[in-house]
Structure 1
Amino acid sequence: MRLLHRYLAKEILLPFAAGLLFLTQILLATQLLAQADVLFGSGVSLVDVGAVVLYLLPYFLGYVLPIAFLLGAVLGVGRLAEDREVVALGAAGFSPAFLVPVPLAIGVAVAGLGLWLSLDVVPRSLDAARLRLNEIVKRNVMNDVRPGTFYDQIPGYTLYAERVHGGRWGNVLISDRSDPAAPVLALARAGGLEPVGAGEEMRLVLDDGEVHREQVDADEYVLATFRRADVVLGLGTALSDRNAVSRTGRDDLAGLQARVAEARAKGDAAAARRAEGSLHRRIASPLAVIPFALLAVPLGASRRAGRAFGVGATFLVVVAHYLLLRSGEVMAQRGVLPAPLALQLPTLVLSAIALALIALQVRRGTGAVR
């Protein structure tokens, strides 16, 4: 019996690993292409690209683990059915339910891995990816200033340099419109941009120049000279628009629980439900592996269905799970159902369907897989 279980586990793990690798590569390639203007900019090295890929890997693994597992389990069981090995097991007195513990045991392990990734690893890796991409964007901004060209990608500022060499500028003009009521024009013999910390700020450094400021409402004009001037600029949308990771939720378990408690303390029930829904969605997504494991035998153990049916059934089950998850999320946000129950609807509904199909298969015996 143990030999048969190990044999089935091997048949499941091989297509599972192949599907995991294939789907992860697709998602990573899509993300790299979406961020091509940042990751392939003038201030980027291969080490930067490799680090970003490494940081994003846990995030994408959390998405593809349930799908790859379902595909691998269905194809693994389906391979046994196509070769009539499931029929042979039935002739030896084993019901189709004999196959269920193997994908279920693997599924529990994969679900545990998914929960660890979702609640612990992914928030930290996304935060590291955000910081690395912030650095890359800043370096790109520093290198994007071209001699004899106006640069206006920093909100509220326009930069012009007659000469650019090694990140330093010569004969610089800066137009500061961050305060429309008091526009500022700065002229300097030399200058440049320097990164500041890990946030959205950069430091503008100017040497040997003068500042012209006009107070529109008061009809005043101010002129001042300087030997050295430092101004901290907030890149704002210039950074967030380029850094897609900055718009991705990255709160860890403690952060989400704190958001729920803070919203409840303020009496903001809607915000509390949204935060609680986000928390339980992170739990619900990895737990999708459990009903997928139960569905593997009913979907894969029919020789007549073939592998094409297994792939198609995998797609339909994933779509059904997504629709149920979205419905549960909406019900949780509207307060129709508690978030722990609403976000577990896909697991409960698909598990009930899987158990019903297994019971039907057991009742029909070997005739279900001929």
Structure 2
Amino acid sequence: MRLLHRYLAKEILLPFAAGLLFLTQVLLATQLLAQADVLFGSGVSLVDVGAVIVYLLPYFLGYVLPIAFLLGAVLGVGRLAEDREVVALGAAGFSPAFLVPVPLALGVAVAGVGLWLSLEAVPASLDAARVRLNEIVKHNVMNDVRPGTFYDQIPGYTLYAERVHGGLWENVLISDRSDPSAPVLALARGGRLEPLGAGEEMRLVLDDGEVHREQVDSDEYVLATFRRAGVVLGLGTALSDRNAVSRTGREGVAELRARAAEARAKGDVISARRAEGTLHRRIASALAVIPFALLAVPLGASRRAGRAFGVGATFLVVVGHYLLLRAGEVMAQRGALPPALALELPTLVLSALALALIAIQVHRGTGAVR
């Protein structure tokens, strides 16, 4: 029987690996196209693009692992049913339910990997991706300033350079409107932008120039000359609008629990539920593999089993899981159920459905697929 179990495991792992590779490639390609204006900008190298892909891989793997596993498990068992091997197993006196431990054992292992990805790897990798994309955006900004063209992509500032050579500017004009009550005009013979840390700031460095400042509500006018001046610019929306990862949750388990505890201490129950819901959603997404593993044999060993049926069944189960997950999130936010229970609603419902289908197969006995 061990030989049969190893045989089924091989039949499951091959389509699982193929599905995992295909779905991950699709998601990565979609993300790269969505960030094309950043990742294929003037200040980007192949190393930068490769680093972003590596950092985003755990995030996408967390999404596709359950789906790819369900597809692989249903197709693996379905292949046995399609070739009448499940019928031969029944003729030998074994119900299709005899196959359940194989996808279940594999599912538990995949769920463990998914939990590690969701709770540990993904927050760290998204934070690294955010920092790298921030650097890419900054280098793009440094290279986007064109000679003889006004550049106004930095909120509150307009930059103009008569000549640009390798990121160095000549005969520069800077209009600073970050403080509307005291606009500033700077003129300099040279200037440049420099990255500053991993946040949203850059340093504007000007050489040999003068600053004109006027108070809008008074007649005061200030003129000052300088040999070198440096100003820290906050890119703000110019950076966050381009960096989609900056809008993606990067908090780890400890941060989410601390945020929930702090919100409850302040009496902000809604924010506390939202933080707890985020944490338990990550756990629920990884544990989705368990009911998917239990459903593999009832769906794959069906009389209608086949590759087309396997793909269709996978789609329906994934949609059902998503709808139950959304319903659980709503109940958690409204306080109808504790977040830990509400977000595990898909796992509990689909597991109960799978166990019921397995029980039916056991009751029907060795003739379950005849």
TM-score by length of 2: 0.99
State the match for 1:126 in structure 2. Answer: 126
* Separation in structure 1 between the aligned mates of residue 199 and residue 215 of structure 2, nearest angstrom: 31
* Separation in structure 2 between the aligned mates of residue 29 and residue 7 of structure 1, nearest angstrom: 34
Deviations 1:308-355, CA, capped at 9 Å, x for gaps: 111101000000000000110111011110000000000000000001
Does the 8 A contact of 1:66 with 1:292 survive in 2? yes
State the match for 1:307 in structure 2. Answer: 307
* Separation in structure 1 between the aligned mates of residue 339 and residue 219 of structure 2, nearest angstrom: 59
Please give the secondary structure, in 1, of the residue aligned with 2:319: helix
Deviations 1:283-330, CA, capped at 9 Å, x for gaps: 000000000000000100024332211110100000000000011011
State the match for 1:70 in structure 2. Answer: 70
1:34 aligns with 2:46: no
State the match for 1:324 in structure 2. Answer: 324
1:246 aligns with 2:251: no
State the match for 1:364 in structure 2. Answer: 364
1:88 Cα deviation (Å)?
Answer: 0.8
Please give the secondary structure, in 2, of the residue aligned with 1:263: helix
1:48 aligns with 2:32: no
Deviations 1:224-269, CA, capped at 9 Å, x for gaps: 1111110000000000000000000010111111111111111111
Does the 8 A contact of 2:75 with 2:306 survive in 1? no
Deviations 1:136-192, CA, capped at 9 Å, x for gaps: 000000000000000000000000000000111000000000011111110001001
Mapping 1:269-348, distance limit 5 Å: 269-348=269-348
Mapping 1:107-256, distance limit 5 Å: 107-256=107-256
Does the 8 A contact of 1:84 with 1:303 survive in 2? no
Does the 8 A contact of 2:95 with 2:368 survive in 1? no
Q: CA RMSD in A?
A: 0.7
State the match for 2:352 in structure 1. Answer: 352
* Separation in structure 2 between the aligned mates of residue 111 and residue 328 of structure 1, nearest angstrom: 20
The more displaced of 190-199 and 303-312 is 303-312
* Separation in structure 2 between the aligned mates of residue 227 and residue 306 of structure 1, nearest angstrom: 77
Unaligned runs of 5+ in 1: none
* Separation in structure 2 between the aligned mates of residue 304 and residue 367 of structure 1, nearest angstrom: 15
Unaligned runs of 5+ in 2: none
* Separation in structure 2 between the aligned mates of residue 296 and residue 184 of structure 1, nearest angstrom: 67
* Separation in structure 2 between the aligned mates of residue 292 and residue 209 of structure 1, nearest angstrom: 67
Please give the secondary structure, in 2, of the residue aligned with 1:224: strand
TM-score by length of 1: 0.99
What is the aligned residue count?
Answer: 370
Please give the secondary structure, in 2, of the residue aligned with 1:304: coil
- 4+ aligned runs moved over 4 Å, structure 1: none
